[in-house]
């Protein structure tokens, strides 16, 4: 019973953009056939097969390029919530259905608090047809790239509109009051004169994934909170050791030091090629521990990850399954890259999945 559930997963990421939430949402809800203009290298077209744009139950057909291959996806709009700038698509035919029994994509855009711009939240839920199929991290990266190109497209459209507005004012000053013109200038300068703040914010991200296990939530949590020095016994190909440098195991403020192997993985997430990985280290401070929630948070303070990231925080929360044995391990990674050349840490997420599965096997063998 627990085995099929290991095929179910979800991935999430956030992309900070400079465009408004409403504008970005409208690209998918009101005019997805324009997305190809914004991101021609990724999206070749979107056609309406049934219904109306942005209406629940309508069918749209995407032509796109993913992993260098031309692909198609026939999708039904499952949900639209304009007040939340949210839309959900369910894939019903196409290339993704060769590897997944089900695949849902939800896009929600939220205005930033206290400043211009928005945050695009991508949420993928899926069920693989078998364990041989990889989790769709590369599709998540595809979504990030499309988001950034749509953002650029919207900003360029905004500037063109601004140019037109300016000309209208010069040629026909009665069309616009000085006060309104000042507001337009303020918006213009927020985007153009102060790019540093918005550019840096695009370096911030988060990734999440769930792993279904057969062990109890308490036992799995205890492996990281009470005896992380035993994780190397469970996953020796990935974790070489964990030493306590300051404080006590599982106590906030304590410092632990990990030796691990992390590198490029094979296509199949379940078979990470640790032999070809690199030996790395991470010095981490325990930021939070909530035993009643089986949750622990580590912040990386030294080590290899900080060569590419300004900050890196890992939260592990384990929840008992409802109505059956086993648990769900939720990994939540928040980070800030040092620059745009650094990749989002999808391979690190794969590493977390593999370690989780090996810890699960270890705990089951102990029983």
Phi-psi region of 2 (alpha: psi -120 to 50; beta: other; left: phi over 0): alpha
Residue 124 lies in a domain: yes
Domain boundary among 202, 236, 268: 202
113 pLDDT higher than 90 = no
Residues 258, 144 share a domain: no
Residue 278 lies in a domain: yes
The confidence score (pLDDT) of residue 223 equals 94
Q: Give the rounded percent of residues in the chain with a pLDDT score beyond 70.
A: 83
Q: Which domain holds residue 327?
A: 206-366
Residue 169 lies in a domain: no
Residue 173 lies in a domain: no
Q: How many domains, in total, are found in the chain? A: 2
φ, ψ of residue 159 in degrees (nearest 5):
-70, -40
Residues 138, 231 share a domain: no
Domain boundary among 202, 220, 239: 202
Answer for the pair 344, 141: CB distance below 8 angstroms, yes or no.
yes
Helix boundaries (H) for the chain: 2-5, 21-29, 35-38, 137-171, 178-192, 195-201, 217-225, 231-234, 346-366
In this structure, of 25-29, 87-91, 155-159, 329-333, the range with the lowest mean pLDDT score is 155-159
pLDDT band at 120 (very low <50, low <70, confident <90, very high): very high
Residues 216, 124 share a domain: no
In this structure, of 209-218, 249-258, 269-278, the range with the lowest mean pLDDT score is 269-278
208 pLDDT higher than 50 = yes
Residue 279 lies in a domain: yes
Residues 141, 215 share a domain: no
Residues 231, 143 share a domain: no
**Mean pLDDT value across the chain:** 83
The angle, 0 to 180 degrees and rounded to 10, between the axes of the packed helices 346-366 and 137-171 is 150
pLDDT in tens, 254-263: 999 999 998 7
Residues 127, 212 share a domain: no
Closest by Cα among 160, 296, 165, 172 to 226? 296
Residue 11 lies in a domain: yes
Residues 124, 19 share a domain: yes
φ, ψ of residue 153 in degrees (nearest 5):
-60, -45
* Pairing assessment for the beta strands 295-303 and 118-128 based on DSSP bridges: unpaired
The confidence score (pLDDT) of residue 159 equals 52
Residues 231, 89 share a domain: no
Residues 92, 210 share a domain: no
Buried b (16+ CB within 10 A) or exposed e, 98-125: eebeebbbbbbbeebeeebbbbbbbbbb
Helix, strand or coil, per DSSP, at residue 292: helix
The confidence score (pLDDT) of residue 197 equals 36
Residues 137, 36 share a domain: yes
Residue 241 lies in a domain: yes
The residue among 196 and 308 whose pLDDT is bigger is 308
* Pairing assessment for the beta strands 118-128 and 8-17 based on DSSP bridges: antiparallel
pLDDT band at 205 (very low <50, low <70, confident <90, very high): confident
Domain boundary among 181, 202, 223: 202
Answer for the pair 327, 213: CB distance below 8 angstroms, yes or no.
yes
DSSP per-residue string spanning 217-242:
HHHHHHHHHT-GGGHHHH-TTTEEEE
Residue 41 lies in a domain: yes
325 pLDDT higher than 70 = yes
CATH number at residue 91: 3.30.530.20
Q: How far is CA 160 from each of CA 117, 166, 188, rounded to the nearest angstrom?
A: 18, 10, 11
User: Can you tell me the distance from the alpha carbon of 2 to that of 5, in angstroms, rounded to the nearest whole number?
Assistant: 5
The confidence score (pLDDT) of residue 169 equals 35
199 pLDDT higher than 80 = no
Residues 316, 236 share a domain: yes
In this structure, of 103-112, 186-195, 254-263, 308-317, the range with the lowest mean pLDDT score is 186-195
User: Can you tell me the distance from the alpha carbon of 318 to that of 325, in angstroms, rounded to the nearest whole number?
Assistant: 13
User: Can you tell me the distance from the alpha carbon of 282 to that of 86, in angstroms, rounded to the nearest whole number?
Assistant: 38
11 pLDDT higher than 50 = yes
pLDDT in tens, 58-111: 999 999 999 999 999 999 999 999 999 999 999 999 999 999 999 999 999 999
Q: How far is CA 154 from each of CA 149, 288, 349, rounded to the nearest angstrom?
A: 9, 40, 31
Residues 211, 149 share a domain: no
Query: Cβ neighbours of residue 325 under 8 Å, at least 6 residues apart?
Result: 1, 2, 214
pLDDT in tens, 23-37: 999 999 988 988 998
In this structure, of 41-50, 260-269, 297-306, the range with the lowest mean pLDDT score is 260-269
Determine the Cα angle at 13 with ends 258 and 39, to 5°: 130
Q: Which residues pair with 290 in a beta bridge?
A: 295
């Amino acid at each position: 019973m627990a085995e099929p559930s290991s095929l179910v997963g979800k991935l999430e990421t956030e992309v900070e953009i400079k465009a408004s939430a409403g504008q970005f949402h409208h690209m998918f809800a009101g005019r997805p056939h324009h997305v190809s203009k914004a991101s021609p290298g990724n999206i070749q077209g979107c056609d309406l097969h049934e219904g109306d744009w942005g209406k629940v139950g309508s069918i749209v057909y995407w032509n796109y390029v993913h992993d260098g291959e031309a692909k198609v996806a026939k999708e039904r709009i499952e949900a639209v919530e304009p007040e939340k700038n949210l839309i959900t698509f369910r894939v019903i035919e196409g290339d993704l259905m060769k590897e997944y029994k089900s695949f849902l994509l939800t896009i929600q855009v939220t205005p930033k608090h206290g400043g211009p711009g928005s945050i695009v939240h991508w949420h993928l839920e899926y069920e693989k047809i078998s364990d041989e199929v990889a989790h769709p991290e590369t599709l998540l990266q595809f979504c990030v790239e499309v988001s950034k190109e749509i953002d650029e497209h919207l900003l360029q459209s905004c500037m063109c509109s601004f140019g037109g507005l300016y000309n209208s004012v010069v040629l026909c000053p009665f069309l616009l009051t000085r006060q309104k013109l000042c507001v337009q200038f303020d918006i213009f300068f927020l985007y153009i004169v102060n790019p540093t703040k918005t550019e840096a914010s695009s370096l911030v991200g988060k990734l999440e994934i769930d792993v279904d296990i057969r062990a109890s939530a308490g036992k799995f949590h205890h492996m990281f909170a009470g005896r992380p020095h035993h994780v190397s016994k469970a996953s020796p190909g990935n974790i070489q050791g964990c030493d306590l440098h300051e404080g006590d195991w599982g106590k906030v403020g304590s410092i632990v030091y990990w030796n691990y192997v992390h590198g490029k993985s094979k296509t199949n997430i379940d078979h990470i090629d640790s032999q070809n990985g690199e030996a790395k280290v991470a010095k981490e401070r325990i930021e939070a521990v909530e035993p009643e929630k089986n949750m622990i948070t580590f912040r990386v303070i030294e080590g290899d990850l900080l060569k590419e990231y300004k900050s890196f925080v890992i939260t592990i929360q384990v929840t008992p399954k409802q109505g059956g044995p086993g648990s769900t391990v939720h990994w939540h990674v928040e980070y800030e890259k040092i620059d745009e050349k650094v990749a989002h840490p999808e391979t690190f997420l794969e590493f977390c999945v593999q370690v989780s599965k090996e810890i699960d096997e270890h705990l089951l063998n102990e029983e």
